[in-house]
A and B are shown apart, each in its own frame.
Chain A
Amino acid sequence: MNKLLAEEIYYYMTLGRRFELAAKEHYMKGDISGFLHLDIGQEGLSVAAMKAFEKGDVFSTYREHVMAIARGIDPKAVMAELFGKVTGVSRGKGGSMHLFDPSRFFYGGDAIVGGQIPNAVGCAYARKYKEEEEGVMVIFGDGATNGGAFFESLNIASAWKLPIIFLCENNRYAIGTEITRVSPFLEQSKKAAPYMPVTEVDGMDAIAVYEAVKEAQREIQNGRGPIFIEAFTCRYEGHSMSDSGSYRSPQEMQICKAQDPIERMKKALTESFEADAETIESLERRAQKAVEEAVEFAASSPEPDAAELFENLYCKRCGNVVS
Chain B
Amino acid sequence: MLYREALNRAIDDVMRIDPDVVVLGEDVGLYGGSYRVTEGLVAKYGERRVIDTPIAELSIVGNAVGMAIGGLRPVAEIMTANFSLLAFDQIINHMSKYRYMSAGKITLPMVVRFPQGVSRQLAAQHSESYEQMLSAVPGLTVFAANDVNYAYHALKKAVLMDDPVIFIEHELLYNKKGDVDFNAELDPFKARIVKEGEDITIVSYLKMVDDVMASVGKIEESLKRSCEVIDLCSLNPVDYDTVAKSLKKTGRLVVVEEDHKTGGYGAQIVSNVCEELFYMLDAPPLRIAGEDVPIPYNRTLELLSIPTPDKIAEKITEWGRRNGL
Contact = CB atoms under 8 A, between A and B. Distances in A.
A111 B31 contact: no
A309 B124 CA distance: 12
B266 to A, nearest CB: 20
* In the A-B complex, the 5 residue pairs with the closest CB atoms: A95-B297, A176-B31, A146-B54, A34-B121, A182-B54
Interface stretch (A67-75, A220-228, A268-276, A300-308): A300-308
Secondary structure dominating the interface of B: loop
B28 to A, nearest CB: 10
Nearest to A86: B298
A71 B111 CA distance: 44
B301 A93 contact: yes
A96 B123 CA distance: 9
26 contacts: A33-B120, A33-B121, A34-B297, A84-B297, A84-B299, A92-B296, A93-B123, A93-B124, A95-B123, A97-B126, A112-B83, A112-B125, A143-B54, A147-B54, A147-B55, A147-B56, A147-B58, A148-B58, A148-B59, A175-B26, A303-B300, A304-B301, A306-B300, A306-B304, A308-B301, A313-B293
Contacts of B296: 92-93, 308-309
A85 to B, nearest CB: 8
B52 interface: yes
A44 interface: no
B211 interface: no
Given A92-B297, A303-B300, A309-B291, 8 more contacts: A34-B123, A84-B298, A93-B123, A175-B31, A177-B27, A177-B52, A304-B298, A313-B294
Interface of B: 26-27, 30-31, 34, 52-59, 82-83, 86, 120-126, 291, 293-294, 296-301, 304-305
A174 B300 CA distance: 31
B31 A247 contact: yes
Given A35-B122, A35-B126, A112-B125, A94 B53 contact: no
B293 A310 contact: yes
Interface of A: 33-35, 81, 84-85, 90, 92-98, 110-114, 143-144, 146-149, 174-177, 181-183, 247, 303-304, 306, 308-310, 313
A238 B300 CA distance: 28
A114 B55 contact: yes
Contacts of A94: 123-124, 297
Given A176-B27, A181-B52, A111 B126 contact: yes
Contacts of B57: 147
Which of B27, B57, B291, B301 has the most A CB atoms < 10 Å from its CB?
A: B301
Given A112-B125, A146-B55, A309-B293, A33 B31 contact: no
Given A92-B298, A112-B83, A144-B55, A175 B121 contact: no
Contacts of B122: 34-35
Contacts of B123: 34, 93-95, 97-98, 111
Contacts of A96: 297
Contacts of A148: 56, 58-59, 86
A84 B299 CA distance: 8
Contact of A183 (B54, B59, B304): B54
Contacts of A113: 55, 83
Nearest to A246: B31
A93 B27 CA distance: 29
A112 B299 contact: no
Nearest to A311: B293
Contact of B301 (A33, A175, A306): A306
A146 B55 CA distance: 6
A84 B121 contact: yes
B112 to A, nearest CB: 17
Nearest to B35: A242
B30 A146 contact: no
Contacts of B125: 97-98, 110-112
